[in-house]
Structure 1
């Protein structure tokens, strides 16, 4: 199993206005910079309405914000990155920490 990266699908509707998630867009931009990183992940776009399956299935309904990186196993220690645990899964939840984790573990430049 590969690490799973969950982002919100752009162009979602909320109360009659179309939106995109700027945090998910930042992660997608990182993957555009470094397509070799994208090849190591399972990228999953989520619809905006909750529950956001399959993310909520993995981590529980209280952990379905995006972006979220669900690790294959425990992952590794990366400076300035906090790994969280829920339902027996390990994940990274803050956007910059996701970018840092991916950069360090995939050998590409880290965010400044």
Structure 2
């Protein structure tokens, strides 16, 4: 089984290149608390601008939100959403990703 891929927006976007995604920062913070869990996912940093080609290819044009934890083709963890276009399982909410990772790998979860 392949590692799920975690898609995060690169910080430093917007007109002044001074913006960052709060949910992506939440993910970065989660891994500060759980450095041993970094090996459980593949980190992929993507640009803010849409279309976000990598996510469109994996999940479809309607599911370009980031952060997104995308599971390998055929890997369908119970209870997770699946893209109607591609059938890939995913989580695209920062707290939900933290919760899933914490539960799966016996780490802390957000309140």
Query: Which TM class, normalised by the smaller chain length?
Result: 0.7 to 0.9
Give the equivalent residue in structure 2 for 1:30. Answer: 30
TM-score normalised by L of structure 1: 0.87
Q: Is residue 82 of structure 2 the alignment partner of residue 85 of structure 1?
A: yes
Between Structure 1 and Structure 2, the one with more strand by share is 1
RMSD (CA atoms) = 1.4
Counterparts of residues 64-103 of structure 1 (less than 5 Å):
64-72=64-72, 73-77=75-79, 83-86=80-83, 87-103=86-102
Runs of 4+ off more than 6 Å: none
- Shift of the 76–35 alpha-carbon distance from structure 1 to 2, 3 Å rule, reads farther
Rounded to whole Å, the distance in 1 between the matches of 2:19 and 2:37 is 26
For structure 2, list consecutive stretches of 5 or more residues without a partner in the other structure: none
TM-score normalised by L of structure 2: 0.87
Give the equivalent residue in structure 2 for 1:19. Answer: 19
For structure 1, list consecutive stretches of 5 or more residues without a partner in the other structure: 78-82
Once the 2 structures are TM-superposed, how far is the Cα of residue 18 of structure 1 from its aligned partner?
A: 2.3
Rounded to whole Å, the distance in 2 between the matches of 1:4 and 1:17 is 26
Aligned residues: 106
Counterparts of residues 45-60 of structure 1 (less than 5 Å):
45-60=45-60
